[in-house]
């Protein structure tokens, strides 16, 4: 299924809001998990693709041995610029790059890492083929994807709330893209099409998302992701109304003070 161009546009204030709200809300625990898995590999050269604002990059820099080289890439200049401004605890090479056309020689890396990025690739098999190309024999592609939206309750609640704001054309970005690539058989087929002949390993990891107030996930999703592009495409003047509706729905379901809810993702390891 094709994605609208707005699904991959992380620009304007989105990078800042993404880092401020979404990273602690849902990304940080999975970044720590992915970095720990990478640190357990015998890797000397690590490539990160779709690095976003650098949450995994920072974890890799902190956890990997000092002599392990890290190259972090992203297709979106605003996200990469925000990541470089935040920085890392030790030197990292930052490069703009399309995961479907990586600017690296064959067999350059021991591991390719991607946190919640493959769902955005228009041609996933091609991106996997590029990861396979730049991996050395025996290297590992390690990535995670969100599970279905029903198992990620804040995102599900926001999506349902926005259907009430725009009943004739509900914004479906969260269900369509971040939570739209969770079928393990489909992922395995795309990996095989990309040249990974060994069956991938899947680990389902459940965590708890916490926020001090329901306003936080409302802003995080409605204003800090490309869902904002969908809302503004319908009526830019109603962004605040949409965020308010999301907050109200979260408060009804989880409470008006500090709230918490289930998040769930699959971690995938594919060996070259």
- Residue 183 confidence (pLDDT): 98
Q: Taking 90 as the threshold, does the pLDDT of residue 228 lie above it?
A: yes
The model's pTM is 0.94
Nearest to 143 by CA among 104, 117, 123: 117
Q: Taking 90 as the threshold, does the pLDDT of residue 181 lie above it?
A: yes
Structure tokens at 154: 């804040």
- Residue 15 confidence (pLDDT): 79
Residues 6+ apart with CB under 8 A from 198: 270, 271
- Residue 10 confidence (pLDDT): 56
- 98: which DSSP letter? B
- Residue 6 confidence (pLDDT): 53
Cα–Cα distances in Å, from 151 out to 173, 179, 191? 16, 10, 24
- Residue 231 confidence (pLDDT): 96
3-state helix, strand, coil in the chain (%, to 5): 50, 20, 30
Tokens 């707005």 belong to residue: 6
- 73: which DSSP letter? E
Report the DSSP pairing between strands 93-96 and 69-74.
parallel
Counting residues of the chain whose pLDDT is more than 90, the rounded percentage is 92
Q: Over the stretch 129-144, which tens digit does the pLDDT of each residue have?
A: 999 999 999 999 999 9
Nearest to 82 by CA among 10, 9, 6, 8: 10
Classify domain 5-271 by CATH architecture.
Answer: 3-Layer(aba) Sandwich (3.40)
Q: Taking 70 as the threshold, does the pLDDT of residue 111 lie above it?
A: yes
Per-residue pLDDT, averaged over 186-210, amounts to: 98
Do you know the residue count of the chain? 272
Confidence of residue 172 (pLDDT cuts 50, 70, 90): very high
Q: Over the stretch 75-95, which tens digit does the pLDDT of each residue have?
A: 998 889 999 999 999 999 999
Average pLDDT, the chain: 94
Domain locations in the chain? 5-271
- Residue 7 confidence (pLDDT): 46
Confidence of residue 117 (pLDDT cuts 50, 70, 90): very high
- Residue 155 confidence (pLDDT): 98
Confidence of residue 5 (pLDDT cuts 50, 70, 90): low
Sheet containing 69-74: order of strands: 93-96, 69-74, 45-48, 109-115, 135-146, 259-271, 201-211
Confidence of residue 3 (pLDDT cuts 50, 70, 90): low
Q: How far apart are alpha carbons 119 and 257 in whole angstroms?
A: 32
Q: Taking 80 as the threshold, does the pLDDT of residue 214 lie above it?
A: yes
Q: Taking 70 as the threshold, does the pLDDT of residue 2 lie above it?
A: no
């Amino acid at each position: 299924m094709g994605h609208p161009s707005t699904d991959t546009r992380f620009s304007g204030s989105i990078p800042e809001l993404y880092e401020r709200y979404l990273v602690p809300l849902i990304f940080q625990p999975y970044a720590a998990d992915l970095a720990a898995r990478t640190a357990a590999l015998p890797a000397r050269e690590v490539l990160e693709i779709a690095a976003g604002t650098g949450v995994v990059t920072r974890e890799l820099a902190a956890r990997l041995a000092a002599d392990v080289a890290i190259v972090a890439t992203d297709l979106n200049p605003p996200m990469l610029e925000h990541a470089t401004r935040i920085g890392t605890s030790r030197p990292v090479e930052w490069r703009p790059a399309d995961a479907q056309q990586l600017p690296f020689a064959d067999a350059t890396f021991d591991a390719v890492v991607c946190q919640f990025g493959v769902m955005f690739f228009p041609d996933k098999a091609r991106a996997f083929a590029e990861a396979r190309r730049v991996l050395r024999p025996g290297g590992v592609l390690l990535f995670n994807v969100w599970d279905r939206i029903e198992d990620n309750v804040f995102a599900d609640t926001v999506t349902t709330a926005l259907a009430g704001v725009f009943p004739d054309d509900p914004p479906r970005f969260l269900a369509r893209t971040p939570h739209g690539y969770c079928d393990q058989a489909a992922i395995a087929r795309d990996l095989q099409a990309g040249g990974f002949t060994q069956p991938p390993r899947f680990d389902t990891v459940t965590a708890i998302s916490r926020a001090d107030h329901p306003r936080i996930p409302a802003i995080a999703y409605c204003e800090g992701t490309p869902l904002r592009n969908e809302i503004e495409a319908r009526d830019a003047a109603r962004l605040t109304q949409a965020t308010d509706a999301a907050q109200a729905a979260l408060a009804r379901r989880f409470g008006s003070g500090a709230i918490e809810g289930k998040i769930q993702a699959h971690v995938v390891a594919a060996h070259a």
